A = this chain, B = another copy of it.
Amino acid sequence: MKNIALVLSYDGTNYNGWQVQKNGPSIQQSIETALFRLLGQQVRVSGVGRTDAGVHARRYVANFRAECTIPVNRLPYAVNSFLPEDIAVSAAAAVPDGFDARFDCTKKEYAYYIYPSALRDPFHARYAYRYNFPLDLKRMQEGAARFVGRQDFAAVRSQGTPVKSTVRTVFWCEVEPADELICIRVCGDGFLYNMVRAIAGTLIYVGGGKLTPDDISSILRAGKRGQAGPTLPACGLFLNRLWYDHTPALASFRLDV
């Protein structure tokens, strides 16, 4: 029985998120089905996190335990032939028996893309949230800095599975132009439900003048969800980069570039 980690990426548009769901296709289900067809074994795949319906992953790590005689460096080709076009495995590695894609991830970066335009663009429709009012990039950058640090993020999460604590560490939160889009990158040791989408919604309020950068600090202190900005749509959100600082087997896959 080997413990194998897969590096994958997916366009989440057509999925009900990572986790197996009764009401529609999921990424996890697609991968478990592909592995069953390839290996003839029912395996359970654990992912680095439960991305929501419509959220994309530029990088994602999952692991599973199975009997596998296929050389591990050939696994991506083999698994891909059983996966649909919008999910792809780019690398695979044997990892220590105790490795878990979720618990061994030390840092994650999400990217949220905003397309500031009054008119639609069909090539951004699946991958960015269109916002048709002026946004002040410098104000958004000043606002973003307020999310950095070890803080209580209760004000920017949706109710979901209960959590012990709403304190998380955000290592950076940066806003920068990316061609005709605006990209918000948030890196943390963990994220609450819908946290990045609420941070992005709050930064849109700051960029549009409804809130000041200072307001963000007081909103986080008060911890009331209603004071922050809205939860933006899933399509703009990408799981972007991952860090596994204590797992040398994954070091060569450059998950952080």
Q: Which residues of A contact B (CB under 8 A)?
A: 9-11, 56, 58, 76-77, 80, 85-90, 118-123, 125-127
Contacts and interface: CB of A to CB of B under 8 A. Distances in A.
Contacts of A121: 9, 88, 90
16 contacts: A9-B121, A9-B122, A9-B123, A10-B122, A11-B125, A76-B119, A77-B118, A77-B119, A80-B119, A85-B120, A85-B122, A85-B125, A86-B125, A87-B122, A88-B121, A90-B119
A79 to B, nearest CB: 10
Contacts of A89: 119
Nearest to A91: B119
Copy number of this protein in the oligomer?
A: 2
Contacts of A119: 76-77, 80, 88-90
A11 B88 contact: no
A76 B117 CA distance: 13
A80 B120 contact: yes
A85 B115 CA distance: 14
A168 to B, nearest CB: 28
A122 B11 contact: yes
Nearest to A120: B88
A59 to B, nearest CB: 11
Contacts of A88: 119-122, 125
Contacts of A86: 122, 125
Nearest to A238: B123
A123 B76 contact: no
Given A58-B123, A88-B120, 10 more contacts: A9-B121, A9-B123, A10-B122, A11-B123, A77-B118, A77-B119, A80-B119, A85-B120, A88-B121, A88-B125
